[in-house]
Amino acid sequence: MKGACRDAIINIYVFAQRYGWHGLDDPDLQANMTNAVEKYPWVDEFRDRSVTELEFLHGHLNNPGDLPAIVVFRDKVCLMKNIDISEKIKCI
């Protein structure tokens, strides 16, 4: 998370179909969480969450209003339709 999210002038978040890398039983992820806790102690309470969720928390949700944020939700059903590209952009 160093240099990411909090050093930005605006945060842009895109929600798609995957929750992201997560798992209490993933030794690599938990080793990364342990490293992160040294600088970001609050992460220890969220070891069961995805890296993506932690990025969202760190970048905006823990301090709403500090930086402007754009949150985009991707609609997979809309993107799969046989429609013009200009219409598909509205699905993102």
What the block records as the tokens of 2 is 């160093």
* DSSP conformational letter for 14: E
Q: What is the pLDDT tens value at each position of the chain, 92 positions in all? A: 444 555 667 778 777 777 778 888 999 999 999 999 999 999 999 999 998 888 888 877 777 778 788 877 777 776 667 667 666 566 65
Cα gap 73→64, rounded to integer Å = 19
pLDDT of residue 87: 67
pTM score, whole prediction: 0.63
pLDDT value at residue 1 = 47
Task: Find out whether 26 and 83 touch, Cβ atoms under 8 Å.
Answer: no
pLDDT at 18: 73
